[in-house]
Amino acid sequence: MKKEKQPAKTRLDRFISQRININKRDVRLILAQQRIIVDGVIANNIQQIIHPFTSVIFDGEPLQNSQACYLMLNKPTDVVSATSDLQHKTVIDLLSHPLKDSLHITGRLDLNSSGLLLLTNDSSWSRKLMLPDQKVAKVYRVTTEKPMNNEYIEAFRDGMYFSYENITTKPVNLKILGEHTAELSLTEGRYHQIKRMFGRFRNPVLKIHRLSIGSIRLDPQLAPGESRSLNEDEINCL
């Protein structure tokens, strides 16, 4: 049978037509013969919408039976946020999940940054999570070389102009926890944004650890390099 790449969602008649290489008009007859089962139910509507993780069976043979996968990982430092790399260990290398080769990364972290990383094979979910319009806040704990003071709080809140991109950063909520430690929340992800913002004070950043993305918080039970599946509330966080 012919197998072609399907869009994010499509009508049942188009899906069947492409998968078994028949005319769309002939799908009506196949449905009348009750030869198609969608998510465990005999299909009877050619306009039914088929998503990437909809189960579709034709004459007892699966045409599509992919499972959605959503993982959180406590990324260690010195591990690259990529699916493959010739020089460094990747976050995929840390996983033992059977679907790991189908996953992509949602919200990357730099090589020397650690903390919450999300991985999924559901591109629609990850795209929504990262859309600027969603204004999903990401919270980081930062350790700096030099002490911080209240001037940092005001500067981060007011935004900083980056001449290279010709943009002013959106307000960042900075909470100083100690002389060298702070938590900050931002809704955008400019190139090396955190390091560049502290760079305005000539204060090198020593550590960046991500605590949360939106309402999804890093599980404190996960040691560096460990992962777990997201629960239903986390998956439906949007």
Which residues belong to the active site? 110
Residue 195: strand, helix, or coil: helix
Q: State the number of CA atoms in the 13 A half-sphere of 160 facing the CB.
A: 22
Region for 115 from its dihedrals, namely left if φ exceeds 0, alpha if ψ lies in -120 to 50, beta otherwise: left
Alpha-carbon distance of 27 to 210, in angstroms, equals 49
Please, which residues have CB within 8 angstroms of residue 55's CB and are 6 or more apart in sequence?
Answer: 37, 38, 39, 40, 62, 64, 65
Q: CB burial class (10 A; 0-12, 13-18, 19+) of residue 216?
A: buried
Q: Check: CB of residue 92 under 8 Å from CB of residue 227.
A: no
For the record, the structure tokens of 40 come out as 């465990």
